[in-house]
Amino acid sequence: MKKITAIKSAFIREVSLIFSVPAVLWQILFFYLPLFILIYTSFFQSYLIFFNIMFVRVIVRSLVLAGGSAALCLLLAYPVAYFLALKVERGKNILLFLLTLPFWTNFLIQIFAWFFLLDRNGIINILLKKINLITEPLYLLNNQFSIFLVMVYCYLPFMIMPLYSILNKMDIALLEASMDLGATRWQTFKRVTLPLSITGIKTGVLLVFVPAFGEFVIPALVGGSKYMLVGSLITYYFLVVRDSKLGAAFTVVSGLTLLGCVVLFDRCCQLVSGKRKAR
């Protein structure tokens, strides 16, 4: 009798795997299959077309923009995350709340907000004119500067969060020990804090770099139409000229480039942290 129940429960255990089918099926149907179709479609396009300076330029421009945004975000975010995690005592919750708020608001609103500041007749130009710094209004919108600025603005919280969560977990005793043993503040930072936060840096950089590479809303709204980026070109092929073969092929090529960069970055991070351990 007992054996039968054991068999029965083992059977139920196996059968219960069926319940996991909907999620798996959904994932396969709407994630892996679309990617497969995309790659399949792209094979109807000759890849030779990409040996063209135009495509290289678009991809390189996107890489530089995404890399630059990630780098500047890191430079701006690290002090803030450091301050919030290790320095601030009062009002920490309200500061964190203010930081998460843009996270939960629509991307478009954040982009839109910059129009008031950057427009030719906007706040910045009005102020600069008032203090007689300029006589003619500056063109602050529809150029690479505005794309870069808004990109950094929108992705900054994505960099601060992982840095904060890793610095927040850091053992303060380690820092105190380092200072006690005679290291200066800068040495402590360089030898202890920074190496320990390398995983946070990695997550943050990827969270900014990957979406920034494919970004098309920001260039579409504040970039004017002069600067083609990967995201804008993909959109152009699929929605304007409706050439899905070329569009798919370009998506695959730029996706692979991105993948290559991510792998390279990952290797670099490993090298850096491995070197530290070996020492």
User: Between residue 228 and residue 267, which ones bind other proteins under the rule CB under 8 A?
Assistant: 231, 234-235, 238-239, 244, 247-248, 251, 255, 258
Nearer to other proteins, 13 or 279 (CB): 13
- Cα(182)–Cα(17) distance, rounded to whole angstroms? 58
Nearer to other proteins, 110 or 273 (CB): 110
Q: Is 61 buried (19+), middle (13-18) or exposed (0-12) by CB count in 10 A?
A: middle
Interaction of residue 112 with other proteins, rule CB under 8 A: yes
Residue type, 188: T
Q: How far is the CB of 278 from other proteins (least distance, A)?
A: 29
- Cα(109)–Cα(2) distance, rounded to whole angstroms? 64
Interaction of residue 109 with other proteins, rule CB under 8 A: yes
Nearer to other proteins, 17 or 278 (CB): 17
- Cα(35)–Cα(259) distance, rounded to whole angstroms? 14
Structure tokens that stand for 105 in this block: 């608001």
Interaction of residue 225 with other proteins, rule CB under 8 A: no
Give the count of beta carbons closer than 10 Å to the beta carbon of residue 150: 26
Give the count of beta carbons closer than 10 Å to the beta carbon of residue 225: 9
Q: Which of residues 76-105 bind other proteins (CB under 8 A)?
A: 76, 79-80, 82-84, 87, 93, 95-102, 104-105
Q: Which of 146, 159, 213, 249 binds other proteins (CB under 8 A)?
A: 213
Cβ contact 197:170 at 8 Å:
yes
Interaction of residue 221 with other proteins, rule CB under 8 A: yes
Interaction of residue 181 with other proteins, rule CB under 8 A: no
Q: How far is the CB of 273 from other proteins (least distance, A)?
A: 21
Q: How far is the CB of 38 from other proteins (least distance, A)?
A: 4
How many residues touch other proteins under the rule CB under 8 A: the total is 81
Among residues 176, 181, 202, 186, which one has the least CA distance to residue 270?
Answer: 202
